Structure 1
Amino acid sequence: MLLACASGAPASPDPVPSPDLAPEAVVKIVVGALQQNDEPADDAGIATAFRFASPGNQAATGPLARFTAMIRGGYSDMLDFERATYGRMVFQGDEAAQRVTLVQANGRRSTYVFALSKQVGGERDGCWMTDAVVPVAPQDDGLIRT
């Protein structure tokens, strides 16, 4: 599995971290991959999410088999959902966070905050990568409930 930044690399069906990708793009790549988790192969989306995990995140959640079990066990609503809505990206220096709400086919919603950081040094220098994905209470979506 390629973990290095791929600056100027041709488009690939297996996206990799790149200093050319803004944090918003990283979140959309990861969320989109999880939405289509089994395309083009079983758990390809989870593998993409792991590739975009920061080195510290990978050390805490990896290897890939352990990461896959974690996603399937506690974050399964992140797989094969119907649609996603994205909040604004909030920056603090070389760190960023974005709220993402996932909607299942049955209308059930789950919301996560993606925390990212811009890597410094090494082969991932300049790449925005995911440090954590934390479940949170959904924001008011403006719907009237009785």
Structure 2
Amino acid sequence: MFRFLAPALLVLGLAGTSPAFAQISPATGPDPELSPGDVVRAQLAGFRADSDAGIAQAFAFASPRNRSVTGPVQRFSKMIRAGYGELLGHRSASLAELRQDEAHTYQGVEITAADGRTHLYVFILSRYDLPNCDNCWMTDGVAKRPANPDAQSL
């Protein structure tokens, strides 16, 4: 889920963010009824829990391609703790307006970490057909945005 994406992949501002995180999704795995925002909110809820079960919840929404790079869940957990620790136990998250192209949907997220610092991310999602879930949104990757507010791309 958190594979590195090329710096020039995407330009996505967080203008128009809203406190959408207040509506935490109870979803624990892919479901065709979930929107891209629902999937991101469910993953954020797992990360916010800062537990093995919460990280496993986030991993449940990783796409098959993503899992082949980041899995199994134990390796995913180590990767999150080492490189994306600010997601764990975060205070709040605000979602930007969704952006789309022909192949993906992009969800900008502004996180306020447990230490009060702000971090910007982009979740990259696609639809997948799984044995128990046709046309489900899943996360292909997550990229950190630069801390520099003048930066225009990932």
TM-score (norm 2): 0.74
CA, structure 1 residues 14+23, in 2 after alignment: closer, same or farther (shift >3 Å)? closer
Distance 1:48 1:139, change over 3 A: farther
Q: Say yes or no: does 1:37 pair with 2:50.
A: yes
What are the residue-to-residue correspondences of 1:103-142 with 2, within 5 Å? Answer: 103-120=112-129, 122-137=131-146
For residues 138 and 19 of structure 1, the distance between their equivalents in structure 2, rounded to whole angstroms, comes to 34
Secondary structure of 1:29's aligned partner: helix
Identify if the C-alpha distance between structure 1 residues 54 and 87 changes in structure 2 by more than 3 Å, giving closer, same or farther: same
Identity of paired residues, percent? 39
Asked if the contact 2:61/2:138 (under 8 Å) is kept, the reply is yes
Match of 1:20 in 2: 33
* Number of equivalenced pairs: 124
Equivalent AA in structure 2 for residue 35 of structure 1: R
Partner of 1:57: 66
Counterparts of 2:53 and 2:97, CA distance in 1: 27
Does the alignment pair 1:100 with 2:109? Answer: yes
Structure-1 residue corresponding to 2:9: none
Change over 3 Å in CA distance of 1:100–1:139 after alignment to 2: farther
Larger radius of gyration: 1
Contact 1:34 1:46 survives alignment (8 Å):
yes
- The answer to whether 1:82 aligns with 2:82 is no
CA distance in structure 1 between the aligned counterparts of 2:130 and 2:75, rounded to whole angstroms: 27
Superposition RMSD on alpha carbons, in Å?
A: 1.8
Taking structure 1 as the reference length, the TM-score comes to: 0.77
**TM-aligned CA distance change 1:18 to 1:94, over 3 Å:** farther
Q: CA offsets, 1:13-66, max 9 Å, x none?
A: 77110111010100011011111122xxxx111101110000000011001111
Q: Can you give the 5+ residue segments of structure 1 that lack an aligned partner in the other structure? A: 1-12, 141-146
The higher relative CO (CA closer than 8 Å, separation ≥ 6) is in 2
Gaps of 5+ in 2: 1-25, 150-154
Secondary structure of 1:49's counterpart equals: helix
**Residue type of the partner of 2:53?**
A
SS across alignment from 2:45: helix
CA distance in 2: counterparts of 1:37 and 1:93, whole angstroms:
34
